[in-house]
């Protein structure tokens, strides 16, 4: 029988140790934290700083959540919120009275709400979750918050009210004048509907008379109303013998 070489056993032990070293982190529990990369809000809004985590171990009373803030101008991050079995809100500082805990650890939620956002809140917010025995993975995540001024709303000033009182009556008067200019015929037709007895009837001012009227007026009186065009006929009548005055008066 062949005896095993002495170097073979030591080689197997070395390989086993290498496998344990490289595979040990994967065998240990790990945690992963996720937050949105960027958030945008307007001044005065309530902003939800979302933070979720996944862990191979069930959350226990030893689980902790920390939120820290670093201003946009730079500087070291400052922790302003802590959770360990219960929420510890900031007692002072920039975020006092403006933070609400929205987390539900059993569901993997570690979110908070920032009330009444201001331009000073621009910066980086970091969510950090630890859940022993999870000691590996990505326990932190960052969110960059950008707060912008709110768009101004439309407001009626004193000048706008005065302009409204001036422009509205002017517009009404203008519409009335335009209406009167566009409807002159109607007014004229109404004025013609009633005529006083003094007004001249149609055709009289041009010397046009109805046929019946001319026949009735054909008498001796027409001799004195003849136009200049009938001068020849007038002189012919003068040459005729005189007519008795009494007879003429009776005809007139």
In a domain? residue 108? yes
In a domain? residue 77? yes
Cis status of the peptide bond prior to 133, with omega within 30 of 0: yes
Averaged pLDDT, 209-237: 48
pLDDT higher than threshold 90 for residue 195: no
In a domain? residue 239? no
- Per-residue pLDDT tens for 28-48? 558 999 999 999 999 999 999
- pLDDT score of 57: 87
- pLDDT score of 134: 81
With bands split at pLDDT 50, 70 and 90, how would you rate the model's confidence at 4?
very low
In a domain? residue 98? yes
In a domain? residue 193? no
- pLDDT score of 113: 97
Query: pTM above 0.85?
Result: no
CATH of the domain at 121: 2.60.40.10
With bands split at pLDDT 50, 70 and 90, how would you rate the model's confidence at 137?
confident
Closest CA to 96 of 124, 116, 66, 71: 116
pLDDT higher than threshold 50 for residue 135: yes
Q: What is the DSSP letter of 104?
A: B
Rounded CA separation 200/185 (Å): 21
- pLDDT score of 54: 93
With bands split at pLDDT 50, 70 and 90, how would you rate the model's confidence at 208?
very low
In a domain? residue 130? yes
The answer to whether 32 and 38 have CB atoms below 8 angstroms apart is no
In a domain? residue 62? yes
Number of domains into which the chain is organized:
1
Pairing of strands 140-148, 38-42: parallel
pLDDT higher than threshold 70 for residue 129: yes
CB proximity list for 46: less than 8 A, separation 6 or greater:
113, 114, 115, 116, 117
The answer to whether 46 and 37 have CB atoms below 8 angstroms apart is no
Q: What percent of the chain has pLDDT over 90?
A: 40
Lowest average pLDDT, out of 77-81, 106-110, 147-151, goes to 147-151
In a domain? residue 69? yes
Q: Can you give the residue range of the structural domain that contains 41?
A: 27-148
Rounded CA separation 66/126 (Å): 8
- pLDDT score of 165: 73
- Per-residue pLDDT tens for 70-102? 999 988 999 999 999 999 999 999 999 999 999
What are the b/e assignments for 136-172, b being 16+ CB within 10 Å?
Answer: ebebebbbbbebeeeeeeeeeeeeeeeeeeeeeeeee
């Amino acid at each position: 029988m062949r005896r095993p070489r002495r170097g073979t056993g030591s080689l197997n032990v070395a390989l086993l140790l290498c496998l344990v070293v490289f595979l040990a982190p994967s065998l240990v529990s790990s945690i992963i934290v996720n937050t949105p990369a960027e958030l945008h809000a307007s001044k005065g809004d309530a902003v939800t700083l979302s933070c979720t985590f996944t862990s191979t171990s069930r959350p226990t009373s030893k689980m902790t959540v920390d939120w820290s803030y670093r201003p946009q101008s730079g500087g070291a991050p400052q922790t302003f919120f802590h959770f360990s079995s219960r929420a510890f809100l900031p007692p002072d500082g920039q975020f006092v009275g403006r933070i609400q805990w929205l987390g539900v650890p059993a569901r993997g939620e570690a979110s908070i709400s920032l009330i009444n956002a201001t331009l000073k809140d621009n910066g980086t917010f970091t969510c950090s979750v630890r859940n022993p025995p999870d000691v590996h993975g990505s326990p932190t995540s960052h969110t960059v918050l950008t707060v912008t001024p709110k768009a101004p709303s439309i407001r009626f000033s004193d000048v706008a009210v005065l302009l409204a009182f001036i422009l509205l009556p002017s517009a009404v008067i203008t519409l009335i004048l335009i209406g009167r200019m566009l409807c002159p015929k109607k007014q004229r037709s109404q004025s013609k509907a009633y005529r006083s007895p003094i007004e001249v009837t149609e055709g009289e001012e041009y010397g046009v008379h109805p046929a019946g009227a001319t026949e009735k007026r054909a008498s001796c009186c027409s001799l004195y109303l003849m136009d200049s065009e009938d001068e020849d006929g007038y002189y012919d009548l003068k040459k005729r013998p005189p007519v008795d005055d009494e007879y003429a008066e009776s005809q007139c």
